[in-house]
Amino acid sequence: MADIKLYDFPLSGNCYKVRLLLSMLGLNYESIAVDLAGGESLTEEFKKISPRGQVPVLVDSDDSIWDSMAILSFLARRYGDKTWFPEDDVDNAKVMQWLAVSENEILYGLARARAVFLFKRPFDLTQCQDDGHIGLIAMDQHLSHNKWLATDFPTIADIACYPYVSLAHEGEISLKDYKNVRRWMDDFEALSGWVAIT
């Protein structure tokens, strides 16, 4: 049995981020499905490992880490080489910039638009789609002269942004006007260890 356990929900883009990095790092792990619809994440037992009652949660031996951004940085530092989460001040700051985009325009835009359709969440769809396009415009402009988001090589910034961008169509947000984003997605999907969401 693997020492690493991932408390997971297959349709979650945030869980998908973690599965991507685990795969790209070549790490074996045990996936433990959490029944979100059945309220499993809100039980007192689950909240012992995830105080917010959310997935993903990664347990690695005696270490329990919740929140996808925290898990990505943890895995990159513990198991990756320095390219995934660079230590250089400028490169590290550039990674953090795009992690912020993943938690703002991408989350409030692309992820929430998807949640309206997939999970019947009561978000303002038009506002979500508008926010999503703001993020996509910024990405597309940046990627017009950069291969990857933060540095000259893929980092956890790319992993953090990729899932909900690749799922934008599920929120009825088209990528047809974002040729640089589409090129970046093709390059990302060609990386060793890439896996589909399900």
Q: Is the pLDDT of residue 99 over 90?
A: yes
Kindly report the number of other CB atoms within 10 A of residue 18's CB atom: 27
pLDDT digits (tens, 9 = 90+) for 69-83: 999 999 999 999 999
List, by residue range, all CATH 1.20.1050.10 domains of the chain.
89-189
Q: Cβ(20)–Cβ(162) under 8 Å? A: yes
pLDDT of residue 190: 98
Q: Which CATH number fits domain 89-189: 1.10.3720.10, 1.20.120.160, 1.20.1050.10, 3.30.70.260?
A: 1.20.1050.10
Q: What is the pLDDT of residues 104-114, one digit of tens each?
A: 999 999 999 99
Strand partners, 31: 6
Residues of the chain with CATH 3.40.30.10: 4-79
Confidence category of residue 1, pLDDT binned at 50, 70, 90: very low
* pLDDT, tens digit, 9 for 90 and up, residues 27-79: 999 999 999 989 999 999 999 999 999 999 999 999 999 999 999 999 999 99
Is the domain spanning 4-79 CATH 3.40.50.10680? The answer is no
* Phi (first) and psi of residue 170, to 5 degrees: -75, -15
Tens of pLDDT along 114-131?
Answer: 999 999 999 999 999 999
User: What pLDDT is attached to residue 198?
Assistant: 85
Check whether 197 has a pLDDT greater than 90. yes
pLDDT tens figures, 127-180: 999 999 999 999 999 999 999 999 999 999 999 999 999 999 999 999 999 999
- Assess whether pLDDT exceeds 80 at residue 2: no
SS3 per residue for the chain: CCCEEEEECCCCHHHHHHHHHHHHCCCCCEEEECCCCCCHHHCHHHHCCCCCCCCCEEEECCEEEECHHHHHHHHHHHHCCCCCCCCCHHHHHHHHHHHHHHHCHHHHHHHHHHHHHHCCCCCCHHHHHHHHHHHHHHHHHHHCCCCCCCCCCCCHHHHHHHHHHHCHHHHCCCCCCCHHHHHHHHHHHCCCCCCCCC
Helical axes 156-166 vs 68-79, angle rounded to 10°:
140
Task: Judge contact between 8 and 55, C-beta under 8 A.
Answer: yes
